[in-house]
A and B are shown apart, each in its own frame.
Chain A
Amino acid sequence: MPTTIIKRPPPHGGVLVNRVERNAYRAQRMAAGAPRLELRPTLDRRTGLPIRNVYREIVSIAYGFFSPLDGFMTRNEVEKVLAERRLLNGWLFPFPIIFDVSEEDLQRLGVREGDRLLLTLRGRPFAVLDIEEIWRFDPIDMATRTFGTPEKNPEVVRVPFDHKHPGYNIYANMTGIALAGKVTIINEPRFRVPYDRFWYPPEASRREFERRGWRTVIAHQTRNVPHLGHEMLMKSAAFAGDIEPCHGILVNAIIGAKRLGDFTDEAILEGHEAINLHGYISPRRHMVNFTLWDMRYGNPLESLLHGIVRQNLGCTHHMFGRDHAAVGDYYDPYATQILWSRGIPSYGLNEPPHETDYGLRIRPVNMGEFWYCPKCGEIAYSANCAHEKERQRFSGSFIRGLIVEGIEPPPIIFRPEVYQVIVKWWREFGYPYVNSRYLKAKEEQGEFELGPMEVPGA
């Protein structure tokens, strides 16, 4: 008999990937004798600033955020992703996930297909990569084919991608030499404060939902400190559910390389936490965690990755707002809603991701936008408020501009407690946002530490 009750979906692909070796003896044995490669950030060749660090992809693969992906892609798998946005096993996946190395490192290591590589981070053993294939690519071609062009993807791409687009820039700055194969963490990360209390990888997240009695959970994507527009998006979208509104709201922050001028990761996490600590959304219904990923800003493609990650975390629904995971005007502002309502055939996505074989089980909640309307006297939803002349849009950029000018945003658009979080980290870093000093310090420290580990013969 059909039921309207929605249950927690299985992981994408059926099983959560878990490639973390927690047994110290086995971990040492896995790494013994393998040549070492220190993980380094991908730098923007024009600015010298870090724009990506592959260790974040290793964490997200190994802990199952990207399930069923269990390693770095072969050439064939990347070609399949670019043509159909599917892995070789048929499951949807939006982006090429590539482990690239420099020519010098490749020569120095002298590795071949079938070899194992010990990956170190800040000098300490971190993971092993079992090399299945060594292949080469043209980074500019990879960047262009990943995101598309206005001519080839007219449904959603408005402006040609270039180096100002962070995702394009990541692929364009890769070395062009890829090592493909499964990756296993052999030295578990120990997250620093404040990341540690937000660390709920998929298995732990699912357990936590169970403990809280949340059957339905709606995911909220963020890379920002929340303003009232975000809060109203969360509150309104969470009315979706089944026979009752969603039990939980999961704010899953994307933590990774930032752009200059972004809010710091610490302020993003604690800013969202302040929403529940101060009762704007009850902590019984709202929690914050994070995923390590250097965001590609791929709007509809990014939303597909978000759907995968949040389904793996155990969410039943995902809210998508205007300009989802977007930057600039490369994409139609509602490109994500186009994907999740009718598909984007030019990307090989002929149907919405949740209505296709080997697709997702998480359900989209496609939303419009929110603005302040003085006539309604509230943060109003675009489909409700018809006061076109009166409406006052506000954006994260606008609020950042106020803050940096020394003006506290008014409570009607920004919670004072969230502002206090920003000020707390402003005092810590001497700056309210990401600057080049923060970027460099973050790459030196990372979000976690690794304990010492002896590896015989490595």
Chain B
Amino acid sequence: MSGRTYKIGVVLDARRYERVRGTPLEQRAVPIFGGALKMVEIEVSEETARRLLQEFPRSRIDARGFIEELPVAFKRRLFELMVELGRADEGAVRAVLERHLDEVKEQAAKEEEYIPPP
């Protein structure tokens, strides 16, 4: 292991932001793009990054070192666990992998075929 770290960005739109308001997570929410959105950045080890890339083959690391194109189901579950656990760290990411991987993969497979348009 090189000790390199990567990031996962959990974007908070108005609805999600309401759910973290008044919790410790609110302090972690950084305004982005002139305050149009907020984002919580979670740093993960190379080991966890590799696991994510392996579990979700369409995900990729972008030029900023962020792991992108993770399934929507993964991001949604991660956000729910962040709220439930009150933390936004590698532990929350690993909790998704350990507790909810099958369910996330099942939903992700459906996402491959159809996502309802807005």
Q: CB within 8 Å of A: which of B38-92?
A: 58, 60-64, 66, 68-70, 72, 75-76
Contact of B34 with A by CB under 8 A: yes
Could you say which of B34, B64, B114 contacts A431, with CB atoms under 8 Å apart?
Answer: B114
Interface size of B in residues (CB-CB distance below 8 Å): 29
Provide the residues of chain A in CB contact with B112, threshold 8 Å: 260, 435-436
Contact of A406 with B by CB under 8 A: yes
A393 lies within 8 A of B33 (CB) = no
A interface secondary structure, majority: loop
Contact of B3 with A by CB under 8 A: no
B117 lies within 8 A of A432 (CB) = yes
A260 vs B60: C-alpha distance when bound (angstroms): 12
B118 lies within 8 A of A406 (CB) = yes
B69 lies within 8 A of A261 (CB) = yes
Provide the residues of chain A in CB contact with B36, threshold 8 Å: 410-412
Interface size of A in residues (CB-CB distance below 8 Å): 37
B31 to chain A, nearest CB (A): 8
A398 lies within 8 A of B114 (CB) = no
Contact of A161 with B by CB under 8 A: no
Contact of A333 with B by CB under 8 A: yes
B63 lies within 8 A of A412 (CB) = no
Could you say which of A405, A410, A432 contacts B33, with CB atoms under 8 Å apart?
Answer: A410
Q: Which of A233-241, A322-330, A336-344 contacts B (4 or more CB under 8 A)?
A: A322-330
Contact of B98 with A by CB under 8 A: no
B69 lies within 8 A of A427 (CB) = no
Contact of A107 with B by CB under 8 A: no
A245 to chain B, nearest CB (A): 28
Contact of A174 with B by CB under 8 A: no
Could you say which of B62, B72, B117 contacts A397, with CB atoms under 8 Å apart?
Answer: B62
A107 vs B115: C-alpha distance when bound (angstroms): 45
**Which B residues lie at the A interface, using CB under 8 A?**
9, 11, 13, 31-34, 36-37, 58, 60-64, 66, 68-70, 72, 75-76, 111-115, 117-118
Closest chain B residue, CB of each to CB of A379: B33
Provide the residues of chain B in CB contact with A426, threshold 8 Å: 115, 117-118
Could you say which of B58, B62, B118 contacts A408, with CB atoms under 8 Å apart?
Answer: B118
Provide the residues of chain B in CB contact with A328, threshold 8 Å: 60-61
Provide the residues of chain A in CB contact with B75, threshold 8 Å: 401, 405
A424 vs B46: C-alpha distance when bound (angstroms): 38
Provide the residues of chain A in CB contact with B113, threshold 8 Å: 430-431, 435, 437
Contact of A24 with B by CB under 8 A: no
B68 lies within 8 A of A401 (CB) = yes
Q: A398-B68, A401-B70, A412-B36 known; A427 and B117 CB under 8 Å?
A: yes
B60 to chain A, nearest CB (A): 6
Contact of A407 with B by CB under 8 A: yes
